[in-house]
């Protein structure tokens, strides 16, 4: 029997309307547009406003658009995996809520938490469900409402993050296309450098944790930066070597959008020129699990069947990884 692979057959993103610009952040904290742009590459980010609006709202919008675009009946979806660090609530899973909103009544669904590498992890997991032959349509969603865990009085983090979601459809193919290889890694000893201190089972919410601002994302930026530069580049180079690929063979690098300097370092290490790197950090900032699908969505019209793509991410955990895939379709 021919080898089954999982292929992305559609992509859709969703970003909220509201744009939080660097100029506006200058009014909230001691910062300036020049510092933010030169140190990170970010000019603005999108923020989901309104009461009772969680990550599922954005995830569901992306999935609805994806179903429409791919002409998929929601009842034909087998599985929805949502990668998020900002679930609507600790339980049920945000994927359950998304599945209900979009009418995927015959699917099962669950969340995974791997921070900024969440989409990569979920993509590899979904790919393996397809490869077994038991699943025909798997949707992978990356959705994060980072504004819900960002302290807008902390200039070291509030300038970085934004809200957004992206979703891809995975389907089986016997062509030499789709997800070809993946290397995923994690190292929990990185937890002290990037985490949320309270709200989990170790430190449940109390007045004290609230007063101490422990329900916000905490990051020791320069430490995370060093690990991100080395690990994201190393793992991308490793996946290329393993598959006998050089920079010339790669059509696109799809990097996690945390910092323009990390993106450039990764591309350099891989021997990939700037014209082959997907970048949208300037308009969305770091949307955690949504950065990779939002990049694919923005660049979809430039992707051609058979293009070699390297997806790479690094984030809280630490978690990191790289996926090599061959794009499955020409622009429609
Ligand atoms: O997606 C998950 C993984 N996360 C990442 O990959 C993020 C990794 N880290 C980074 O991207 C960078 O470390 C940051 C963008 C967060 C910070 O950039 P940096 O070049 O590492 O700056 P730094 O933390 O070393 O700070 C340099 C200076 C400090 O002042 P002093 O001590 O030199 O006087 C900071 O207080 O910049 C100051 N600073 C700011 N100044 C103006 C920090 N934040 C700001 C700010 N505006 N927003």
Among 176, 211, 238, where does a domain finish?
176
For the cut 70, the answer to whether the pLDDT of residue 1 exceeds it is: no
Classified as helix, coil or strand, 125 is helix
Instruction: Please name the residues in contact with 288: beta carbons below 8 A apart, sequence gap of 6 or more.
Output: 84, 85, 86, 115, 116, 118, 142, 144, 146, 161, 315
Residue ID of nearest Cα to ligand 1 atom 30: 156
Q: Say yes or no: 213 and 150 in one domain.
A: no
Q: Say yes or no: 16 and 144 in one domain.
A: yes
Q: Say yes or no: 14 and 158 in one domain.
A: yes
% of the chain at pLDDT higher than 70:
100
**What integer best gives the mean pLDDT of the chain?**
97
Residues 275-280: what's their mean pLDDT?
98
pLDDT digits (tens, 9 = 90+) for 280-298: 999 999 999 999 999 999 9
Probe residue for ligand 1, chosen from 22, 218, 225, 319 as the CB with the greatest number of ligand atoms within 8 Å? 225
Q: Which residues are catalytic?
A: 116, 256, 286
Q: Say yes or no: 159 and 202 in one domain.
A: no
Q: Say yes or no: 146 and 19 in one domain.
A: yes
Total residues found in the chain within this entry:
332
**What pLDDT does 236 receive?**
96
Instruction: Calculate how far, in angstroms, residue 311's C-alpha sits from the geometric centre of ligand 1.
Output: 25
| Structural domain contains residue 331 | no
| Structural domain contains residue 320 | yes
Is the CB of 40 within 6 Å of ligand 1? Answer: yes
Instruction: Calculate how far, in angstroms, residue 219's C-alpha sits from the geometric centre of ligand 1.
Output: 10
Residue ID of nearest Cα to ligand 1 atom 42: 31
Q: Say yes or no: 145 and 191 in one domain.
A: no
Residues 74-89: what's their mean pLDDT?
98
Atom of ligand 1 nearest to the CA of 221: 13
Among 138, 155, 176, where does a domain finish?
176
Q: Say yes or no: 223 and 124 in one domain.
A: no
Instruction: Calculate how far, in angstroms, residue 214's C-alpha sits from the geometric centre of ligand 1.
Output: 20
| Structural domain contains residue 332 | no
| Structural domain contains residue 84 | yes
Whether 218 and 195 have beta carbons less than 8 Å apart is answered as: yes
Q: Say yes or no: 159 and 305 in one domain.
A: no
For the cut 80, the answer to whether the pLDDT of residue 168 exceeds it is: yes
Structure confidence at residue 209 as a pLDDT band (50, 70, 90): very high
How wide is the angle at C-alpha 139 spanned by C-alphas 176 and 236, nearest 5°? 55
Q: Which residues pair with 81 in a beta bridge?
A: 110, 140
Q: Identify the sign of the CA torsion 14, 18, 23, 27.
A: negative
**What pLDDT does 91 receive?**
97
Structure confidence at residue 332 as a pLDDT band (50, 70, 90): confident
Cis peptide bond prior to 62, omega within 30° of 0: no
Q: Say yes or no: 28 and 167 in one domain.
A: yes
Q: Say yes or no: 188 and 168 in one domain.
A: no
Of 315, 285, 304, nearest in space to 40 by CA: 285
How wide is the angle at C-alpha 324 spanned by C-alphas 323 and 330, nearest 5°? 120
**What pLDDT does 288 receive?**
98
Instruction: Calculate how far, in angstroms, residue 82's C-alpha sits from the geometric centre of ligand 1.
Output: 30
Of 187, 190, 186, 191, nearest in space to 120 by CA: 186
Q: How far apart are CA 241 and CA 126, in angstroms?
A: 24
Among 125, 143, 176, where does a domain finish?
176
Burial 57-80 (b: 16+ CB within 10 A, else e): bbbbbbbbbbbeebebebeebbbb
Q: Say yes or no: 277 and 142 in one domain.
A: no
Q: Say yes or no: 199 and 117 in one domain.
A: no
Domain that holds residue 13: 5-176
Number of domains within the chain: 2
pLDDT digits (tens, 9 = 90+) for 97-116: 999 999 999 999 999 999 99
How wide is the angle at C-alpha 132 spanned by C-alphas 324 and 332, nearest 5°? 50
Is the CB of 152 within 6 Å of ligand 1? Answer: no
CATH of the domain at 50: 3.40.47.10
Instruction: Please name the residues in contact with 267: beta carbons below 8 A apart, sequence gap of 6 or more.
Output: 253, 255, 273, 274, 276, 277
For the cut 90, the answer to whether the pLDDT of residue 53 exceeds it is: yes
| Structural domain contains residue 122 | yes
How wide is the angle at C-alpha 97 spanned by C-alphas 94 and 98, nearest 5°? 85
**What pLDDT does 2 receive?**
80
% of the chain at pLDDT higher than 90:
98
């Amino acid at each position: 029997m021919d080898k089954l692979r999982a292929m992305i057959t559609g992509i859709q993103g969703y970003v909220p309307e509201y744009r939080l610009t660097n100029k506006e952040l200058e009014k909230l904290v001691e910062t300036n547009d020049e510092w933010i742009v030169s140190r990170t590459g970010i000019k603005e980010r999108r923020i989901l406003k309104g009461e009772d609006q969680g990550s599922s709202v954005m995830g569901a919008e992306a999935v609805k658009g994806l179903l429409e675009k791919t002409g998929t009946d929601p009842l034909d979806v087998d599985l929805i995996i949502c990668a998020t660090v900002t679930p609507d609530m600790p339980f049920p899973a945000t994927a359950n809520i998304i599945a209900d909103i979009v009418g995927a009544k015959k699917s099962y669904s669950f969340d995974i938490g791997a921070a900024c590498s969440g989409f990569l992890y979920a993509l590899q997991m979904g790919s393996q469900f397809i490869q077994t032959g038991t699943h025909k349509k798997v949707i992978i969603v990356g959705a994060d409402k980072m504004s819900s865990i960002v302290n807008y009085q902390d200039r070291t983090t509030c300038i970085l993050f934004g809200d957004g979601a992206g979703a891809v459809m995975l389907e089986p193919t016997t062509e030499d296309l789709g997800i070809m290889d993946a290397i995923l890694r994690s190292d929990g000893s990185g937890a002290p450098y990037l985490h949320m201190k309270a709200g989990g089972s170790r430190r449940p919410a109390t007045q004290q944790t609230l007063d101490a601002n422990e329900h916000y994302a905490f990051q020791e930026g320069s430490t995370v930066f060093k690990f991100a530069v080395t690990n994201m580049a190393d793992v991308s180079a490793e996946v290329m070597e393993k598959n006998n690929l050089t920079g010339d063979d790669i059509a696109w690098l799809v990097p996690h959008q945390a910092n323009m300097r990390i993106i450039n370092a990764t591309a350099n290490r891989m021997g990939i020129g700037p014209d082959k790197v997907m970048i949208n950090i300037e308009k969305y900032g770091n949307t955690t699990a949504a950065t990779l699908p939002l990049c694919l969505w923005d660049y979809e019209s430039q992707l051609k069947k058979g293009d070699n793509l390297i997806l790479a991410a690094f984030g809280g955990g630490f978690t990191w990884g790289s996926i090599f895939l061959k794009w499955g379709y020409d622009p429609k």
